Structure 1
Amino acid sequence: MGGSGLLGLEVTRQARRAGQRVATTFHTRRPDGDAHHLDIRDRAAVIALVRAVEPAVVVNAAYLQADWATTADGGTHVALAAAATGARLVHVSSDAVFSGAAGRYDETAVPDPITPYGAAKAAAETAVKAITPAAVIARTSLIIGRGDSQHERQVHALAGGAPGALFTDDLRCPVDVGDLAAALLELASSPHAGVHHVAGAGAVSRHELGVLIARRDGLDESALPRALRAGSGLPGPADVRLDNTKTQALLTTRLRGAREFLASPLPVE
């Protein structure tokens, strides 16, 4: 589910490269290959499609930050469809389920969201646990692509003089989209269940992340405006560091930190 997004496209690419038969879903942008139009908010349509395709594994990477029905209800519909067909479910969640009050969070931490999006993600997690206890709930952080994530686009815009700033007191554990997709596929083929933190090793501020992207892409890092989230009035947590120690010990896929995966130049297509 969510096959036309940054993560969905990478999961599809890696699975097909491994010789697996993959069917994806989309809502607005049709990806290449075997793709099915689906409104994840429609429970009957989700269940009907999963019954028709009969997948062994369902990876749900679909979300819409401003829409509870897509993120919370949609996650519930996918869990119901997986349970009805016996499919293995890997549900992608977010560090947005936490308030930031604790700073560091491992897999045992209880969600305490402070934004509507975080609440929707937490609700979806609750539904998945209740409906499909054997599912994997994979919490992740800022997903960095190979030039095409929203964070990279923002850095390029700011370096070019666009208004805005990057917070120096807003900490996350960014993950490379390739590492994340590989880890999700590895978890899908494993016997593991429950919550896993699939985020990059080590925390960076949004400003440091911007500097790392600028250095990789040959931009002027000194042109990136900096600011403090504290006092900005913007909603959302400032310090959410997902501890991936437990999950990393289960995986052969290495979840690199941003300082490592952004040290290499972009691959030439």
Structure 2
Amino acid sequence: MRLLVTGGRGGYLGRHVVRAAREAGHDVVAVGSVDADVRDRAAVHALVARHAPDAIVHTAYDQSDWDVTATGAAHLALAAARHGVRMVLVSSDAVFSGRSPAYDESARPDPITAYGAAKAAAETAALAVVDDVVVARTSLICGDGRSKHEDLVHRAVGGADVALFEDEVRCPVHVGDLASALVELAAGSRRGVLHLGGADDVSRLELGRLVAVRDGLDPSALRAGRRADLEDPGPIRVRLDSSLAGRTLVTRLRGAREFLAP
């Protein structure tokens, strides 16, 4: 299978997807912004036509740029539909408000942030335009020691003025597990929405303490805070129900308490 991975050159998740796909024996085309600006519809169509992939894994995004996150995904979806290419769109738990105790694949997006709205728009475009598509919603991505979440913990222990929220709950997933799951989906036949969160729901503070213990740091040096005290807190407790992925994928999505164990 020839797999085109957006964000595969410089993106954190994209690089892991490229590695997992190559290890699985696939022909991989890793692309970044130097290859095509996803905001440019003509450039995206030319890119897909030139490389003629069997599937696209779209990991590229920019939390502060609607055109990259939403419009760019729509351009990829249109190109995938035109050329008959399967698409795996990486989405986020940010499409949910956090008002429900948990979210499975039947839950309707109700974003309360600009980024969440952009991801929800990207999902809508992909599901409307591409017949052969998977929308893979995930949570905090970490686990290899190089994620922004793990870097934040090291900076906090080192004295940076950083508080880790004790009331914000997510379902962190190991970047390697997620990458393998995305490659499995790209090579498979499942369609529609699938949640790819980790098995454990943990607070940002607990996640930080797990990272600290794993890395031989002092977890008591981490300062607790409350996201609810912010003027515009955004979603606070978002638990992805990923049991469907657990029943249908070969790849196992471990929980943070397992993959961050010392």
Deviating 4+ runs (over 2 angstroms): none
Specify which of 80, 83, 97 is matched with residue 82 of structure 1.
80
Measured on the aligned residues, the alpha-carbon RMSD in Å equals 1.0
Q: Distance in 1 between matches of 2:78 and 2:99?
A: 33
Distance 1:234 1:156, change over 3 A: farther
Verify: 1:19 aligned to 2:19, yes or no. no
1:127 alignment partner in structure 2:
125
Q: What stretches of structure 2 of length at least 5 have no aligned partner? A: 1-5
User: Which stretch of structure 1 is more off in the superposition, 192-201 or 144-153?
Assistant: 144-153
What SS does structure 2 have at the residue aligned with 1:130? helix
Structure 1 partner of 2:69: 71
- Give 3-state SS (helix, strand or coil) of 1:195's partner: strand
**Structure 2 length as normaliser, TM-score?**
0.96
**Equivalent runs, 1:249-268 vs 2, <5 Å:** 249-264=247-262
Verify the 8 A CA contact 2:227 2:233 in the aligned structure 1: no
Letter in 2 for 1:191: S
Distance 1:222 1:145 in 2: 20
Once residues 236 and 246 of structure 1 are traced to their aligned partners in structure 2, the CA distance between those partners, rounded to angstroms, is 27
Q: Kindly provide the amino acid, as one letter, of the partner of residue 162 in structure 2.
A: G
**CA apart distance, 1:138:** 0.1
1:30 maps to none
Among candidates 7, 13, 21, match of residue 7 of structure 1: 13
Aligned equivalent of 1:205, options 203, 209, 212: 203
Q: In the alignment, what sits opposite 1:60?
A: 58
Output one character per residue of 1:25-57: Cα deviation in whole Å (capped at 9) or x when no partner: 112xxxxxxxx6221111110010000000001
Q: Which one is further off, 41-50 or 10-19?
A: 10-19
C-alpha distance in structure 2 between counterparts of 1:246 and 1:234, whole Å: 32
Q: Across the two proteins, how many residue pairs are aligned to each other?
A: 256
Q: 1:240 aligns with which of 219, 238, 248?
A: 238
Looking at structure 1, the residues matched to 166 and 77 of structure 2 have their Cα atoms a distance apart, in angstroms, of 38
- State the SS of the aligned residue for 1:200: coil
Moved more, 180-189 or 230-239: 230-239
Residue 184 of structure 1, CA deviation: 0.7
Q: In the TM superposition, what whole-angstrom CA distance separates every residue of 1:50-87 from its partner, at most 9, and x where no partner exists?
A: 00000001000010000000000000001011111111
Work out the percentage of aligned pairs sharing the same amino acid. Answer: 58
**Normalized against structure 1, the TM-score is what?**
0.93
The answer as to whether partners of 1:133 and 1:194 remain within 8 angstroms in 2 is no
1:200/1:257 contact within 8 Å kept: yes
Shift of 1:156: 0.4
Matching residue's letter, 2:81 = A
**CA distance in structure 2 between the aligned counterparts of 1:179 and 1:93, rounded to whole angstroms:** 16
Tell me the distance in 1 between the aligned counterparts of 2:140 and 2:26: 27
Q: Pick the aligned partner of 2:45 from 44, 47, 72.
A: 47
Who is 2:103 aligned against? 105
Report SS of the residue matched to 2:19: helix
Note if 1:175 corresponds to 2:161. no
Partner-residue secondary structure (3-state), 2:13:
helix
Deviation at 1:103, TM superposition (A): 2.7
Which runs of no fewer than 5 residues in structure 1 stay unpaired? 28-35, 265-269
Match of 1:32 in 2: none
Pick which of 87-96 and 18-27 moved more: 18-27
CA offsets 1:140-190 (integer angstroms, 9 cap, x no match) = 000004111110010000000001100010000000000001111111111
Give the Å deviation of 1:134: 2.3
Q: Identify which range, 222-231 or 165-174, moves more after superposition.
A: 222-231
Aligned to 2:3: none
Pair 1:115-2:121 in alignment: no
The 5 A counterparts of 1:128-167 are 128-167=126-165
Report 1:216-231 matches (<5 A): 216-231=214-229
